[in-house]
Amino acid sequence: MEVSYLQSLDPLAGIVPGSVIWSTLLAALPVVVLFWLLVPMRWMASKAGAAGALSAIVVAIVIFRMPWDMTLWSFTHGVGFGLLPVGWTIFNAMLLYNITVETGQFTIIRRSVASLSGDARIQSVLIGFSFGAFLEGAAGGGTPVAICGAIMVGLGFNPFLAAVLCLIANTSPVAYGGLGTPILVLMGVTDLPGTTISTMAGHQLPFLSLLIPAYMVKCMCSWKQTFAVWPALLVSGGSFAVFQYFFATMHDYFPGVVLYPMTDIGGGIFSLVVTAIFLKLWKPANEWHFDTPMAAPPGAAEADSAKLDSNDPHAAEAIAFMGSDSQQGAAYESKPLTAGNVTLAWTPFILMSVALMLTGIVREKEGKGPVLIPGTDIQTNYMIPIPTLHNEVMRAEELRPTKNHKEKAEFNFAWLTAPGTAVFFSAILSMILLRMSGAQIGRVTKRTIVQMKIPIPTIAFMLGLSYVTRYAGMDAVLGVAFANTGAFYPFFAAILGWLGVFLTGTDAGSNALFGSLQKITATAIHTPGSLLADNLSLGQAQVLICTANSTGGVMGKMIDAQSICVATAATHQLGKEADIFKAVVWHSILLATIVGLMTLLQAYVYPFTLMVPTP
């Protein structure tokens, strides 16, 4: 069957000596450009992403000889997906969070969490892990580190330690951050079902979630002091792990109920509630705490913002979170906590949960065919074929699932059922419920735009880069090269995801950058007679290795430039970025290694192979 573009694994064959090596190096050029601009040159992520995308377009046209119109439509397709559903989702998630801050409700939420225990060990877990997971799911984008770090410093934690603990805590929940944005991105670049990816993540991350609370506490005190609070650590981590597993895989037990975008939000709240109940029945024998509070001096946030603005482009996220307390929030600091005002404070997120559940049910039906709004001919989503691209690209013969398989290129315009739409309606209802004034709505909207002016373009450019490499076949060239690691590749799949998060600053960005490559590599190493083929089907191998990009990647979140800058700003540790990086980098490597080893077990060792779902 004829197509407009047939991918080649060696576009320089017959042109230069050693063509395979040169083809591989040039296929890697966009990633190299991205790395060089982000790390040595320290460019802002959005600008580096744009430059990386431009280099991918040039390589696709000049080296891989992809028609220019198809190349540009590939880029446009990726950018479109970066804006809807990804950008639309994270924008509205941040908008809803800012509504609670502006109206003072977030102060009530924060105080209700901090009041659960006076023991610093337990506070670190409740705030850094459980509450941080909730914030990661509700907003992401550095919010957990910024907010939790500031809270812990105010409670008396050493600022440096608070930064380190929050960075370690912000790991296992990240794959479901921003209402499951990383899963959505990975689904978009691999064409694997989001529900299947979520199930695989749900068969890996709960083990880490159970470990992280104890890991955090051990970083702040001795083994003896850690074991003294093991019941609370088990309840906190265990309750989150159970909830994470259940929501990540619920669609497998209740077909049509897709709630994995709510995994972090629900898991964080569930962990807080269960631990709070447990702390009513159990207390540590000796309460452990720091001697004096370490609250920041007046004006510190403004001073830190000025320093960050002039010294480090990666600190734009940190600046966006400076001075997040509103005047309303200050008024709520001394207001007594009651069941009524605590329930009201959490109501915006309750509304969001219900709306996401309802749209998730409709979204599941969309997979079986068009869904019409009752009484109209209007569909809840529209599949739009991408001009010049849809069914006009064919992979190299050895990488096609069938001989005549063509690559699809359809944009899913899910105007109603994208997660961001449900959150948007929840935000509107919350504005009405909390009786926000026009001035407040204006401030919240402006603040959200400022916070998202870097993350959304960054993700859009990363996805544009990814889609160009995917349709041009650059990811295939790199995937075949990575396949040379053979049976050990499942381990390196997690490490590659870890590197991707370090480079891009987000798990979603890493999935956009390397997700398609991971699928190609899984296909390349799944050959007849291989150890991988003996244990898993091709579909299972693709799901396992692609998901490892995300689950391994989350462990790189603690060492990316944006997270480090947010942590130092929130805890007023400016100038100590290098020290904090050195303090967390080995934790990051160790945890990524654990995910890599877990992936190896699930690839080759029975009964762990039974944990890998079939797409």
Average pLDDT estimate for 226-255: 94
pLDDT per residue as tens digits for the range 338-374: 989 999 998 998 898 788 778 877 877 887 789 999 9
Task: Judge whether 9 and 394 are in contact, CB under 8 Å.
Answer: no
What is the Rg, in whole angstroms, of the alpha carbon atoms belonging to the chain?
24
DSSP codes, 223-284: HHHHHTTHHHHHHHHHHHHHHHHHHHHHHHHSTT---GGGHHHHHHHHHHHHHHHHHHH---
Quickly state the pLDDT bin for 302 (edges 50, 70, 90): very low
| Residue of higher predicted confidence among 314 and 424 | 424
Quickly state the pLDDT bin for 328 (edges 50, 70, 90): low
Structure tokens belonging to residue 537:
């089907």
Secondary structure class of 382 (helix, strand, coil) = strand
Cα gap 108→112, rounded to integer Å: 6
| Residue of higher predicted confidence among 88 and 315 | 88
In 3D space, the residue among 20, 574, 46, 613 whose CA is nearest the CA of residue 300 turns out to be 574
Cα gap 579→170, rounded to integer Å: 18
Task: Judge whether 484 and 477 are in contact, CB under 8 Å.
Answer: no
Q: Is residue 395 part of a domain?
A: no
Average pLDDT, the chain: 86
pLDDT at 26 over 80: yes
Instruction: Report residue 410: phi and psi, to 5°.
Output: -125, 135
pLDDT per residue as tens digits for the range 5-17: 999 999 999 899 9
pLDDT per residue as tens digits for the range 528-580: 888 899 999 999 999 999 999 999 999 988 887 667 777 776 677 766 777 88
Element (H, E) at 385: strand 382-385
- pTM, entire model: 0.78
Average pLDDT estimate for 304-330: 52
Cα gap 23→9, rounded to integer Å: 8
The predicted pLDDT at position 103 comes to 93
Secondary structure class of 372 (helix, strand, coil) = strand
Secondary structure class of 519 (helix, strand, coil) = helix
The predicted pLDDT at position 386 comes to 96
pLDDT per residue as tens digits for the range 180-213: 889 988 998 898 999 999 999 999 999 999 999 9
In this structure, the number of other CB atoms found within 10 A of the CB of residue 293 comes to 10
DSSP codes, 406-433: -B--EEEE-TTTSHHHHHHHHHHHHHHH
pLDDT at 297 over 60: no
Cα gap 65→23, rounded to integer Å: 12
pLDDT at 321 over 60: no
Quickly state the pLDDT bin for 236 (edges 50, 70, 90): very high
In our burial notation (b when 16+ CB lie closer than 10 A, e otherwise), range 218-250 reads ebbeeeebbebbeebbebbbbbbbbbbbbbbbb
Q: Is residue 485 part of a domain?
A: yes
Query: In total, how many domains does the chain have?
Result: 1
pLDDT per residue as tens digits for the range 471-481: 999 888 888 88
pLDDT per residue as tens digits for the range 433-463: 999 999 999 999 998 898 888 878 887 888 8
pLDDT per residue as tens digits for the range 152-188: 877 778 888 988 999 999 988 999 987 888 998 899 8
The predicted pLDDT at position 329 comes to 62
Give the type of residue at 591: L
Quickly state the pLDDT bin for 90 (edges 50, 70, 90): confident
pLDDT per residue as tens digits for the range 518-527: 998 998 899 8
How big is the chain, counted in residues?
615
Diameter of the chain measured on Cα atoms: 77
Alpha-carbon separation of residue 276 from 2, 130, 238, 279, 417 (angstroms)? 63, 11, 14, 5, 35
Q: Which domain holds residue 356?
A: 5-371+408-611
β pairing state of 393-394 and 5-6: parallel
Quickly state the pLDDT bin for 298 (edges 50, 70, 90): very low
Alpha-carbon separation of residue 151 from 7, 213, 486, 523 (angstroms)? 53, 17, 47, 46
Distance of CA 1 to the CA centre of its chain: 39
In this structure, the number of other CB atoms found within 10 A of the CB of residue 534 comes to 10
Q: Is residue 403 part of a domain?
A: no
Quickly state the pLDDT bin for 238 (edges 50, 70, 90): very high
Q: Is residue 377 part of a domain?
A: no
Cα gap 139→145, rounded to integer Å: 11
Q: Determine which of 109-113, 494-498, 532-536 has the lowest per-residue pLDDT on average.
A: 109-113
Cα gap 180→183, rounded to integer Å: 5
Q: Is residue 388 part of a domain?
A: no
Q: Is residue 380 part of a domain?
A: no
Q: What angle do CA 509, 413, 84 make, to 5 degrees?
A: 30
The predicted pLDDT at position 300 comes to 42
Q: Is residue 378 part of a domain?
A: no
Element (H, E) at 383: strand 382-385
The predicted pLDDT at position 303 comes to 44
Q: Is residue 393 part of a domain?
A: no
Quickly state the pLDDT bin for 315 (edges 50, 70, 90): low
